[in-house]
Structure 1
Amino acid sequence: MTVTIAQVLALPDLNLRVVAGDAGLGNEVRWVHVSETVDPTPWLRGGELLLTTGLKIEQPEQFEPYVHRLADAGLAGLGFGIGLGHAQVPEPLIRAAAQRGLPVLEVPVDAPYVAISEGVSNLLAAERYDTIARAFDAQQALTAAAVESGRGGIVAAIARAVGGWAVLTDLSAGVLRASPPEAADRLPALLPDVMRARERGIRSSGSVVGPTESVAIHTLGARGRMRGFLVAGVPGRATDYSRMVLAGGVALLSLEMERSQAATRQLRRLRADPLAQILRGAVTDQVAAQHATAWELDPTAVRVAVYLCAADRVGRVCDDVNELMSEAGLPGAVVVQDAGRQARAAVLTDATDRAATALAGLASVRPMVPLGLGDVVPIEQVGLSYRAATHAAEVGRAERRAVTRFDDLEALHMLFRAQSPQALAGFVRRVLGPLQQHDRGREGALLASLRAFLAHNGHWNETAAELGIHRHTLRARIDRIEQVTGRDLGSAYGRMELWLALLADSAADTDDFVGPAPDRTGGSAPERSGGRGQDRK
């Protein structure tokens, strides 16, 4: 419901009479404005009923441009008071108003302008109350639909309330619900507008106004995360009522989608313990395959991806990965493995490029979280993919790369595929053993300095800055490392040995998950021999 010129014309006891522009009696009146200036348009916003006596217009030829200015400004109608400056509404004004379809009301000299303003204000107040009451009823219907039928019920209730159509989409503008069903066919033409709303962010909205309807586009989501879009068509121009209904629908749909995501996140978190057991080799191949199938994975082709980050950030990284996988509909599971100051978030996912690309996007944030992508393997060899992903992530961290695929590391591929865990553990003991022994009780200062020095390719200033020490202190530590290990850090071969030993040593931490040749027949895995596990005892 809106206030129109026809309703103003019908106000009692004012004796208003329409003298031109009958076709515009349905124009909506937004406000009443009084002005005697020749050009009041700088003070108009459109939709006003302008009251004047024409006192400032002295020449008949001035009325035609006066009317055109008012019509161009979007005036709803003109109330012309007679009996003061003009005995009747001037004929040139009537002709120009008829030409532009602008309603002109003749206001008798005994009809006070304040009475017209009060009458319009009362009509607007009644209209506002009616709008709020109708919107409240619609909100109740939307809430009932949410309780009874979820997203589909809300979308259908929105379409009924606005007398048009409504479509709910995901972030990629894929249709989730549509009412009526054929409304989904409207979406392809609106896709550019939906994508623009996505680029503007979570609180954005847009509209497309056509000759017969207005289309509103609203983003859905909460806590700064976008979940999807509500696209709705309203016959004619959008009104306060339709905007209120859509605002309520946006709130309910956002809540419903957030609740659904929260449940999904919780279910994904419950996968962490089974995944840890799978990576540790603590379950049979059959049980591992059953878990993979339940997580919508093909047990014959899975991949492990590993993120490296500080231990105090790994929980957030894990949550972000779960969120990403939920939003993108990626199958799989995530688990956190703590490792001192550094920690890993291990992801079991499918072999598709889509999954790898989505996970790589998270690695590229700042500060960077290096991602290593392991081999594609059957579920019974998932430990190999986990080791490979960890090696790749370590190389990526050293070389400051966001994403590293183990398949691209030919030398490491040959080294770690050709050697048994026991052989690698022996290599670590021979190269790093004396340094590890020296660092016990010293908080690993020399090992940390060695890792940073090699990661920065021997650049003294960058290494010292990362460690927060003076260059002289760093030089003293490097000298001590060379003495303890018997290797020259000025030699490319010496640096290579130490770097490979550090990578193998870091990868040995995956023994917390992955043991050599575990017994997958249901018994316990055989006890490891050698390696860092014994060194720590």
Structure 2
Amino acid sequence: MSSGQDGGLAVQQVRVGPRVHGRLGLVADRALTPVDHLLVGHAASLVALEAEKPVRLRDEQNRVNGLFLRMLLDGSIAASAADGHLTEAGFPVRDGIRVLALRGGSPRQALQAVGKELAERGLPLFGRAHGGGAMAVLLPAGHGGTAQTVTDAARARLNSQVWAGLSAAHQLADGPVALTEALNAASVARTRGSRDVVAFESLAGRLLAATPETRTILAALAQAQLAPLALHDTEHGTDLLVSLRAFLEHNGQWEAASAALGVHRHTLRSRMERVRGLVGGDLDSAHVRAELLLALSAWQEPGDHGGTD
């Protein structure tokens, strides 16, 4: 602010908390008085409150959309009802849906960045945080390429590692399947250290998860084989599941798998010994490795069904 005989200028930041909406300026042909400065401050406060109205409405809509997405992805909402809600929200569903899963960083902060990117493409945000540091976002089936853009935006906002997986295209009734595919593809991206979105369709063996009967068998296999490893990771802060996936996806090659994980091969060998003891199988056996890889294809990490919106 400045004031003199030839006039005065006052500039007040328009903000609410950490959110800045702009600046309000007052130019006068006289010196500004303390009352003028007080009025400018009040005016800036009123403008800020008015600007916050659409922000609050958007935040509330995103919260409602997050609750809807939870029901869609756990299969508790009928496809016809889901179709009506998405259509009214301006979300195209004619060609089906995909689920984008992101792992790493703060899911809530990532959702803000994703929401901004989707808004620029005329798409509403249907996203929610999951347990285990993951988040899920609903995309139209025809917007597979958008997945990389919103992932890069989340990475830039968080300034941290983010790994992403994209499900195949599905009908609305297959929301739980799409979620499982996306989360597993994101886990693969994390294992590989990939900055690119890993599409579930690019993963070998995906046809085994295409029918309810085989999905049920694989889910039971995953629970029996991998739950002890997940429990050990939770209780001891280890990375046995991630290490096992890397070991199997690199065909048991110690050098390649340890390089993908960023650890020494002796560290990986030690982890695999613990895995061997917990699963009770011979990792040198191709049949055991194949069974474990199938189990990983159906595995949902603890917390993937839960979370907050």
Opposite residue 283 of structure 1, the aligned amino acid is I
Contact 2:215 2:298 in 1 (8 A): no
Give 2:272's aligned residue: 478
SS across alignment from 2:168:
strand
Please show how residues 369-408 of structure 1 align to structure 2 within 5 Å. Answer: 369-402=162-195, 403-408=197-202
- The amino acid that maps onto 1:309 is G
Separation of aligned partners in 1, 2:283 and 2:187: 22
SS of 2:77 mapped into structure 1: coil
For 1:271, the equivalent position in structure 2 comes to 65
**Does 280-289 or 313-322 show the bigger shift?**
313-322
Assess, with a 3 A threshold, how the Cα gap between structure 1 residues 447 and 503 changes in structure 2: closer, same or farther.
farther
Partner of 2:36: none
Structure 2 distance, partners of 1:412, 1:507, is 19
Which residue of 414, 437, 446 corresponds with 2:207?
Answer: 414
For 2:4 and 2:113, the matched residues in 1 are separated by: 49
Larger radius of gyration, structure 1 or 2? 1
Give the Å deviation of 1:229.
11
SS in structure 2 opposite 1:389?
helix
Query: For residues 510 and 125 of structure 1, what CA distance do their matches in structure 2 show?
Result: 63
Matches within 5 A, 1:369-518: 369-402=162-195, 403-409=197-203, 411-418=204-211, 420-428=214-222, 432=225, 436-437=227-228, 443=234, 445=236, 448-452=239-243, 454-455=245-246, 458-459=254-255, 475-483=269-277, 484-488=279-283, 495=289, 497-506=291-300
Q: Is the 8 A contact 1:227 1:257 kept in 2?
A: yes
Which residue of 121, 137, 141 maps to 1:347? 137
CA RMSD, Structure 1 to Structure 2 (Å): 4.6
* Aligned residue in 1 for 2:37: none
In 2, the alpha carbon distance for the partners of 1:343 and 1:309 equals 6
Bigger relative contact order, structure 1 or 2, given CA contacts below 8 A and separation 6+? 2
Aligned residues of 1:292 and 1:332 also touching (Cα < 8 A)? no
Q: Given that residues 303 and 349 in structure 1 are in contact (C-alpha distance below 8 angstroms), is that contact kept between their aligned partners in structure 2? A: yes
How many angstroms does 1:414 deviate by?
2.1
Which residues of structure 2 form unaligned runs of 5+? 33-39
Q: Note the 1:306-385 alignment, pairs <5 A.
A: 306-309=101-104, 313-326=106-119, 329-338=122-131, 342-350=132-140, 351-352=142-143, 355-365=146-156, 366-385=159-178
Which amino acid in the other structure matches residue 240 of structure 2? Answer: S
Once the two structures are superposed, what CA deviation does each residue of 1:324-381 show, in whole Å capped at 9, x if it has no partner?
445654224112222xxx2321112323357434423235444222122223333233
Structure 1 residue 298 displacement after superposition? 2.6
Secondary structure of residue in 1 paired with 2:299: helix
Stretches of structure 1 that go unaligned for 5 or more consecutive residues are 1-123, 140-202, 204-219, 231-238, 514-537
**Contact 1:305-1:346 within 8 A present in 2 as well:** yes
- The aligned residue for residue 87 of structure 2 is 293
1:255 Cα shift? 6.3
Q: CA shift at 1:316, angstroms? A: 3.0
Does the 8 A contact of 1:439 with 1:445 survive in 2? no
Contact 1:363 1:370 in 2 (8 A): no
Distance 1:444 1:508, change over 3 A: closer
Tell me the distance in 2 between the aligned counterparts of 1:356 and 1:372: 9
Identity, in percent, stands at: 23
User: Per-residue CA shift, 1:151-171, capped at 9, x if unaligned?
Assistant: xxxxxxxxxxxxxxxxxxxxx
| Offset of residue 424 of structure 1 | 0.7
Q: 1:125 to 1:427 in 2, by over 3 A?
A: closer
- Residues of 2 paired with 1:221 and 1:358: CA distance? 29
Q: Closer, same or farther in 2 for the Cα pair 1:389/1:454, shift >3 Å?
A: closer
Aligned-partner SS, 2:129: strand
Query: Deviation of residue 222 (structure 1)?
Result: 7.9
- From 283, 286, 300, give the equivalent of 2:77: 283
TM-score normalised over the length of structure 2: 0.68
Report the alpha carbon displacement of residue 276 of structure 1 after superposing the two structures with TM: 1.0
Deviations 1:248-287 (A, max 9, x none): 9999877654542233122211222222112212122222
CA offsets 1:455-477 (integer angstroms, 9 cap, x no match)? 375458768977xxx98676444
Distance 1:241 1:507 in 2: 63
Evaluate the alpha carbon distance shift between residue 439 and residue 371 of structure 1 in structure 2; reply closer, same or farther with a 3 A threshold: closer
Distance in structure 2 (CA, Å) of the matches to 1:475 and 1:355: 39
SS at match of 1:282: coil
1:293 Cα offset (Å) = 2.0
Q: How many residues align?
A: 281
**Distance in 2, Cα, partners of 1:442 & 1:356:** 30
